[in-house]
């Protein structure tokens, strides 16, 4: 898919792909997340994501919600360790409305105390809900285990005590420090000419103050593998094992993407799914995940099983890892694996909302968007030997950590 890009005079980057669809998707992706918080700010980036919709100089919270909802659109946002995004889906005829709303939210939000008070309790309820879901909570606690003592290990949601302490002053201080124009990308996929999209973005974001961020991110160092079992009183045993992996800029990153797909990716014929579920029937929820950050990454394997099957599941996982480390894939096997990953990526491009967010993040991180044929070429160049070397590099049991809920 072809895309167009440009940079506004204040440093905000724009990227757009025109598609023949009645629905447009547009978002503002910012290079700031929970790892940019000070210790006493834990949860603040996520708190801003919630409260930035709660009122501007000329709109109340209801009017913000209704601006796109009234014409069938959806307004949304998310926060991760390294980014924050405000995005929307709407009929393409409402691009003007969407971009004007984004500009109003990002430049004119007032953060009224009445609304902050309500949203604090909403987020505390979100935290409590998360704590009641062990299959989700274990991922946060595993990152706390791996990145112990580092901002990367903190929960994005924060703690109830800290969330209840945040006010407008803390919000404005964080935004002033992190929401800079050179760290913003406005991304779009929709049925609108690039020239018109760029003109609308310039109209509503041209007044955003120019600014350059100075990164205060401290690289993580000093990882030590750990094994921890926590008594949670759950019906299932939940387990994550994994460790550090390469960062988003690593030349071998795509090799790990392919290895992860083979091991426990989204397909039903992944090694782990075939072993634990299809052949032995001891796990319903299982997956492996590779997450790349700007200076580090993680590779994790998660599964839930009956406590009586925990040791057996770990044994089977260990067997599959050892096979990947010691037995190179045959030409037929690696050929299928490459085609499968390329097919999955192609299908993900058909989800225009996901594509819009992926394009924005790619511009934010790499300054470009790689075409699908270029990605495919990289995947097809990966050899069986490279996969085996990668398995030994990141799945050596001497460097893996384990967290178990029982």
Chain-centroid distance, C-alpha 47: 17
227-405: CATH, from 3.40.30.10, 1.10.730.10, 3.90.640.10, 3.30.830.10 = 3.30.830.10
What was the pLDDT predicted at 214? 74
pTM assigned to the model? 0.94
Q: What is the average pLDDT score of the chain?
A: 96
Q: What pLDDT digit, counting tens, does each position of 255-278 carry? A: 999 999 999 998 889 999 999 999
In this structure, what token pair is assigned to residue 308?
């009586």
357-369: average pLDDT: 96
Q: Where are the domains of the chain?
A: 4-205, 227-405
What was the pLDDT predicted at 258? 98
Q: Are 277 and 209 in contact (CB under 8 A)?
A: no
What was the pLDDT predicted at 267? 87
Whether residue 93 is predicted with pLDDT greater than 80 in this model: the reply is yes
Whether residue 73 is predicted with pLDDT greater than 80 in this model: the reply is yes
Whether residue 206 is predicted with pLDDT greater than 80 in this model: the reply is yes
Q: What are phi and psi of 349, to 5 degrees?
A: -70, -25
Whether residue 192 is predicted with pLDDT greater than 80 in this model: the reply is yes
What was the pLDDT predicted at 363? 97
Q: What pLDDT digit, counting tens, does each position of 123-137 carry? A: 999 999 999 999 999
Handedness of CA 192, 194, 197, 203 (dihedral sign): negative
What was the pLDDT predicted at 211? 82
In this structure, what token pair is assigned to residue 143?
């990152």
> Is 165 buried (19+), middle (13-18) or exposed (0-12) by CB count in 10 A?
middle
State how far the Cα of 114 lies from the Cα of 308, in Å rounded to an integer: 51
What was the pLDDT predicted at 19? 96
Q: What pLDDT digit, counting tens, does each position of 114-125 carry? A: 999 999 999 999
State how far the Cα of 174 lies from the Cα of 154, in Å rounded to an integer: 17
Q: What is the CA radius of gyration of the chain?
A: 22
Direct distance between the N- and C-terminal alpha carbons of the chain, in angstroms, rounded to an integer = 47
Residue whose tokens read 């998660």 = 302
**pLDDT confidence bin for 215, thresholds 50/70/90:** confident
In this structure, what token pair is assigned to residue 199?
């003109």
What was the pLDDT predicted at 1? 76
**pLDDT confidence bin for 108, thresholds 50/70/90:** very high
User: Residue 29 pairs with which residues in a beta bridge?
Assistant: 85, 185
State how far the Cα of 305 lies from the Cα of 354, in Å rounded to an integer: 31
Q: What pLDDT digit, counting tens, does each position of 276-315 carry? A: 999 999 999 999 999 999 999 999 999 999 999 999 999 9
Residue whose tokens read 């949601």 = 157
Which superfamily does 4-205 belong to?
A: Metalloenzyme, LuxS/M16 peptidase-like (3.30.830.10)
**pLDDT confidence bin for 213, thresholds 50/70/90:** confident
What is the length of the chain?
A: 406
Whether residue 66 is predicted with pLDDT greater than 90 in this model: the reply is yes
What was the pLDDT predicted at 37? 96
Of the candidates 325, 287, 281, the residue with the CA atom closest to the CA atom of residue 306: 281
Q: What pLDDT digit, counting tens, does each position of 364-405 carry? A: 999 999 999 999 999 999 999 999 999 999 999 999 999 999
SS3 of the chain: CCCEEEECCCCCEEEEEECCCCEEEEEEEECCCHHHCCHHHCCHHHHHHHHCCCEECCCEHHHHHHHHHCCCCEEEEEECCCCEEEEEEEEHHHHHHHHHHHHHHHHHECCCHHHHHHHHHHHHHHHHHHHCCHHHHHHHHHHHHHCCCCHHHCCCCCCHHHHCCCCHHHHHHHHHHHCCHHHEEEEEEECCCHHHHHHHHHHHHCCCCCCCCCCCCCCCCCCCCCEEEECCCCCCEEEEEEEEECCCCCCCHHHHHHHHHHHHCCCCCCHHHHHHHHHCCCCCCEEEEEEECCCCEEEEEEEEECHHHHHHHHHHHHHHHHHHHHCCCCHHHHHHHHHHHHHHHHHHHHCHHHHHHHHHHHHHHHCCCCCHHHHHHHHHCCCHHHHHHHHHHHCCCCCCEEEEEC
217-225: average pLDDT: 94
What was the pLDDT predicted at 266? 86
State how far the Cα of 71 lies from the Cα of 93, in Å rounded to an integer: 10
Whether residue 329 is predicted with pLDDT greater than 80 in this model: the reply is yes
State how far the Cα of 368 lies from the Cα of 195, in Å rounded to an integer: 18
Q: Do domains 4-205 and 227-405 have the same CATH topology?
A: yes
């Amino acid at each position: 898919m072809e895309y167009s890009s440009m940079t506004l005079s204040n440093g905000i980057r724009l990227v757009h792909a025109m598609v023949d669809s009645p629905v447009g998707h547009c978002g503002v992706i910012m290079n700031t997340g929970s790892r940019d918080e000070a210790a006493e700010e834990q949860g603040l980036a996520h708190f801003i994501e919630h409260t930035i919709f709660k009122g501007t100089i000329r709109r109340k919270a209801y009017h913000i919600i209704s601006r796109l909802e009234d014409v069938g659109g959806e307004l949304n946002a998310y926060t991760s360790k390294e980014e924050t995004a405000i995005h929307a889906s709407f009929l393409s005829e409402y691009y003007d409305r969407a971009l004007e709303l984004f500009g109003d939210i990002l430049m004119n939000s007032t953060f009224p105390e009445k609304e902050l008070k309500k949203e604090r309790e909403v987020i505390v309820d979100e935290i409590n809900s998360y704590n009641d879901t062990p299959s989700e909570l274990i991922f946060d606690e595993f990152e706390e285990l791996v990145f112990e003592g580092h901002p990367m290990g903190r929960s994005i949601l924060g703690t109830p005590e800290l969330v209840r302490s945040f006010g407008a002053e803390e919000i404005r201080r964080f935004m002033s420090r992190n929401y800079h124009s050179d760290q913003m990308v406005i991304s779009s996929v929709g049925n609108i000419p690039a020239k018109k999209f760029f003109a609308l973005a310039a109209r509503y974001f041209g007044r955003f103050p120019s600014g350059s961020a100075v990164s205060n991110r401290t690289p993580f160092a000093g990882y030590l593998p750990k094994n921890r079992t926590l008594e949670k009183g759950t019906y299932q045993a939940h387990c994550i094992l994994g460790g550090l992996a390469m960062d988003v800029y690593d030349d071998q990153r795509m090799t790990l993407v392919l290895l992860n797909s083979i091991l426990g990716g989204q397909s039903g014929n992944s090694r782990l799914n075939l072993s634990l579920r299809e052949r032995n029937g001891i796990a319903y929820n299982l997956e492996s995940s590779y997450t790349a950050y700007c200076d580090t990454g993680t590779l994790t394997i998660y599964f839930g099983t009956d406590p009586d099957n925990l040791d057996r599941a770990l044994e089977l996982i260990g067997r599959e890892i050892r096979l990947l480390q010691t037995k190179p894939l045959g030409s037929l096997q690696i050929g299928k694996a490459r085609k499968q990953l390329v097919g999955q990526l192609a299908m993900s491009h058909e989800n225009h909302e996901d594509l819009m967010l992926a394009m924005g993040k790619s511009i934010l991180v790499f300054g470009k968007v790689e075409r699908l044929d270029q990605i495919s070429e990289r995947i097809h160049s990966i050899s069986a030997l490279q996969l085996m070397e990668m398995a030994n590099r990141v799945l050596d049991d001497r460097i893996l950590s384990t967290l178990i809920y029982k």
